[in-house]
Each structure stands twice: as structure tokens, then as C-alpha cells.
Amino acid sequence: MLNGKIALDDECHKQWLELQLDLIERPGKKIYNAKLVSFGEDHFE
């Protein structure tokens, strides 16, 4: 990971980025990752 530091985007969406990390680290990680991959594939079709 990023050694506990949150990288900021151009708009400084730190809270959003922290939420994403929290969602990934929860027990539902596999479900979250599956949805993320699914959305990514649909986006490029």
C-alpha cells in the first residue's frame, strides 16, 4: 500500500480516497473487487 499515506488527486478528494481504501479493506473485499472489475470491463466494451 502507500505506507499509510493517501495520495491526493487534482481536486483533493482525500475523504473519497479514504472511503475507497476502507471499502477495500473490509471483509467484502472480494465482492468490491468483483464489482470494480465488472464495471471496468463494461466501460471498455
Is residue 45 domain-resident?
no
Pick the more confident residue, 15 or 2: 15
Give how many domains the chain has, as a whole number.
1
Q: Which domain holds residue 6?
A: 2-36
Is residue 42 domain-resident?
no
* Buried/exposed code over 14-23 (b: 16+ C-beta within 10 A; e: otherwise): eeeeeeeeee
Alpha carbon distance 24, 16 (integer Å):
13
Rounded to two decimals, what is the model's pTM?
A: 0.33
Is residue 14 domain-resident?
yes
CB distance 8 to 17 below 8 Å: yes
Is residue 43 domain-resident?
no
Residues, the chain: 45
Is residue 25 domain-resident?
yes
Is residue 23 domain-resident?
yes
> Mind listing the pLDDT tens digit for each residue in 8-45?
666 667 777 777 777 776 666 666 666 666 555 444 44
Is residue 28 domain-resident?
yes
Pick the more confident residue, 39 or 2: 39
